[in-house]
Chain A
Amino acid sequence: MLQTDLAATILSYCSETNLSVSELTRKVSGSHDKTMALIKELEERSLLLPEVSRKQSVGRPRQYLRTTPIGRQFLTEYKRLHDLSLRSNDNDIRKALHQAELAQRLVERGISPYARFQEINELARNIASTAKVKRNTR
């Protein structure tokens, strides 16, 4: 995960709910130290702000992290840029090209893609329904 991705994850969590630092580090996967360092950096850049909850009548006031308005703007911009990136890697593209090759062979042999499509779908449905029966009879 890129540092920017991790920053966006943290800002996203803190814009939705009030989380303490320990709650946040538990939610975010990856190294604890790395997350702590990033939280500190986000605070220094005023993207994240520690706040104290005064709602509780008993016990120590609870401290939690909130995403600031510029933190929310960071999130919006991040999402826009994230939409620009490809979701597939080289392997996914290779697989797709291989699948296209297989479909091409069908056409060349005069097999209707829709007929084969129906067969595949029916097979998949049959497998799914028999798997359900087996699970139910356990």
Chain B
Amino acid sequence: MLIGGFALTAYGQLRTTQDVDIAIAANYEKSVELQVRLQKSGYQLASPPNPKAPFFFVTDLKEMLEVEIWTRPDGVVFDTELLRRRIKVRPFNDSFEMFAIGPEDFVVNKLARSDRGVQDEQDTVSVLALQKGKLDYAYLRKRANKAGVIELLETLMQKSHTN
């Protein structure tokens, strides 16, 4: 399912992005299998498989598009609740449908990033503002609490008047 800038388009502000971020529920063996298959199909891998890395980089050489494939996205727990909240989107000119992470999990993922920056917080604020009143706040707070970012979330909500 889509996370990052492509998922943001479904819920918040529009901004350019240089890569596509995709989260997959796969263990290390499955992730290696995928990396081998992608390489055989002509995609370029940035580095050999690494069990410690939470994601790997793939470049589509034909389209010159970079894809970050996350097996352990920050703050995201792959469970039925997360899957239930995904939505279907058509990001590439209606050619095919993809899943995008739900808005609540999107927010938690952004705030839980180890390299969180201004852009991540702005993305969060835009989703909180545009989805105000439509979010499942109990679920959002539960996930934020689990990811250790509840105080950050509450502060951002307070400052942006989106609570």
Q: Name B's A-contacting residues (CB within 8 A).
A: 6, 9-10, 12-17, 89-93, 116-118, 120-127, 129-130, 151-152, 155-156, 159-160
Contact = CB atoms under 8 A, between A and B. Distances in A.
Given A100-B12, A121-B17, A84 B152 contact: yes
Contact of B130 (A95, A103, A120): A103
B91 A114 contact: yes
Contacts of B152: 84, 86
Contacts of B89: 114
A23 interface: no
B156 to A, nearest CB: 7
B14 A103 contact: yes
A121 B16 contact: yes
A96 B156 CA distance: 12
7 contacts: A87-B116, A97-B126, A100-B12, A102-B13, A103-B12, A114-B91, A121-B17
A88 B121 contact: yes
A99 interface: yes
A90 to B, nearest CB: 7
Contact of B156 (A86, A104, A113, A118): A86
Given A84-B152, A92-B122, A96-B125, A116 B14 contact: yes
Contact of B9 (A90, A93, A114): A114
Contacts of A103: 12-14, 126, 130
A97 B121 contact: no
A97 B127 CA distance: 9
A60 B55 CA distance: 49
A90 B156 CA distance: 10
Contacts of A106: 14
B122 A88 contact: yes
A97 B156 CA distance: 12
Interface string A40-64: 0000000000000000000000000
B12 A87 contact: no
A1 interface: no
